Amino acid sequence: MERKITVLSNKEIAPKIFKLTAAAKIPDKTRCGNFVHIQLKEKPLRRPFCICDFSRELETLTIVYEVKGEGTKLLSGYQKGTCLDALFPLGNGFDIKSAKKIFLVGGGLGTAVLPAAFKSYEGEFTSFIGFKSKENIILAEELSLGGDLFVSTEDGSFGEKGFVTDCVKREISLRKPDIILACGPEPMLKSLQKISCQFGTKTLVSLEERMGCGVGACVVCAVKIKRDGQEHNMRVCKDGPVFDINEVVFN
C-alpha cells in the first residue's frame, strides 16, 4: 500500500468542485473503483475519494471532489508541494471479468469514478454523464477521449434534457453492452437497477458510506447487501465500494 502523495495542482473546475493531481507511485493492482483515504492534517478521520485517474508512467494520481464540509474545504486550500498521508489503493474496484463493451455511467460527482476505467480495462467504451445544469458539468473532455460520450442536463442547458438514465435506456438496446459501471446519487442508481433488470445487463455500482479505518477492520461503513435471499451489512471499504446493483438494498 502506498502512503505518500505530493500535490502538483489543485484547481476549481466547476462551482465548488476541485481537481487535485498529485505525484504518487501507482501500485500495479490499482484500478478503476479503488479509493484513496486522505489524512487532512487538522482532522481526526481520513476522507475517502475515488481514484478518478492515474498514470503509471507519469506517476500521478487524480481525484475530483466537491467542497462539502470542513475537511474538503481544508483540502481545497492545499497548494502545490503539500505532502499528504494518503492510503491507496483501497477497496475492491470494478471487476469487469472478460467484458469488452463497457458503458460508463456517472451522475453528478459520481462521474469522478469513471476516467480511470480507460487505464484499467481494454474495451469499447461509451460514457453517459448527467448533471443539473451546464455549469456543473465535469470531466466531459477526459471521457470523450475514451469513446462516445453522451451528456445530459436536467434543465436542458447542455446536451440532452433529462436524466442520464434516459439516455442509457435508449442506447442499451442499440449498443448491447456487456457491462455497465456506474456511480451517482441514489435516485439514479435505483433507476439503473430497474434498467439492469429489464435488459439483463450486468451492472456494477460504486457506493459511499461514512468510514473509519478504510481497511475493513472497524465495520463502521456498513451498507445493506442482499445475498442468498438474506440482507447483510457489508463493508463499503473492503467488500466494496463496488457491488452488483442487483444486490444493493436501497433505503
Ligand X SMILES: Cc1cc2nc3c(=O)[nH]c(=O)nc-3n(C[C@H](O)[C@H](O)[C@H](O)COP(=O)(O)O)c2cc1C
Binding stretches for ligand FAD (CB under 6 A): 35, 45, 47-50, 63-66, 68-72, 109, 112, 208-211, 236, 241
Helices 186-199, 164-175: inter-axial angle, 10-degree rounding: 20
Alpha helices in 83-182 (DSSP H): 117-120, 140-144, 164-175
Q: Which long-range contacts (CB under 8 A, 24 or more apart) does 234-239 make?
A: 236/91, 236/207, 236/208, 236/209, 236/211, 237/35, 237/48, 237/90, 237/91, 237/211, 237/213, 238/91, 238/92, 239/92
Residues 6 or more apart whose CB falls under 8 angstroms from that of 43 comprise: 70, 71, 74
Task: Output 1 or 217, the one with its CB closest to ligand X.
Answer: 217
Q: Decide which of ligand X, other proteins, ligand FES, none touches 87; Cβ closer than 5 to 8 Å per partner kind.
A: other proteins
Residues near ligand FES (CB under 6 A), total? 13
Structural element, H or E, at residue 48: strand 47-50
* Between 147 and 212, CB nearer to ligand X: 212
- The only residue of 2, 199, 212, 244 in contact with ligand FES, by rule CB under 6 A: 212
Q: Give me 53's grid cell.
A: 485517474
**Separation of first and last alpha carbons in the chain:** 34
- Is residue 74 involved in binding other proteins (CB under 8 A)? no
Does 220 bind ligand FES (CB under 6 A)? Our answer is yes
Rule CB under 6 A: choose which of 7, 45, 67, 220 binds ligand X: 220
Is the CB of 70 or the CB of 155 nearer to ligand FAD?
A: 70
What are 159's three cell numbers?
446536451
Least distance CB 217 / ligand X (angstroms): 9
Nearest in space to 92 (alpha carbons), one of 228, 5, 207: 207
Question: From ligand X, ligand FAD, ligand FES, none, which one binds at residue 208 (CB under 5 to 8 Å depending on kind)?
Answer: ligand FAD
Residues numbered 159-218 forming contacts with ligand X, rule: CB under 6 A:
212, 218
Select the binding partner of residue 222 from ligand FES, other proteins, ligand FAD, none (C-beta < 5 to 8 A, by kind): other proteins
Decide if residue 221 touches other proteins (CB under 8 A): yes
Among 135, 141, 148, 231, binds other proteins (CB under 8 A): 231
**In angstroms, what CA-CA distances link 53 with 18, 117, 167, 231?**
14, 8, 25, 33
* Peptide bond connecting 187 to the previous residue in cis, omega within 30 degrees of 0: no
Among 144, 217, 227, 246, binds ligand FES (CB under 6 A): 217
Q: Is residue 237 a contact residue for ligand FES (CB under 6 A)? A: yes
Q: List residues binding ligand FES (CB under 6 A).
A: 211-214, 216-221, 235, 237-238
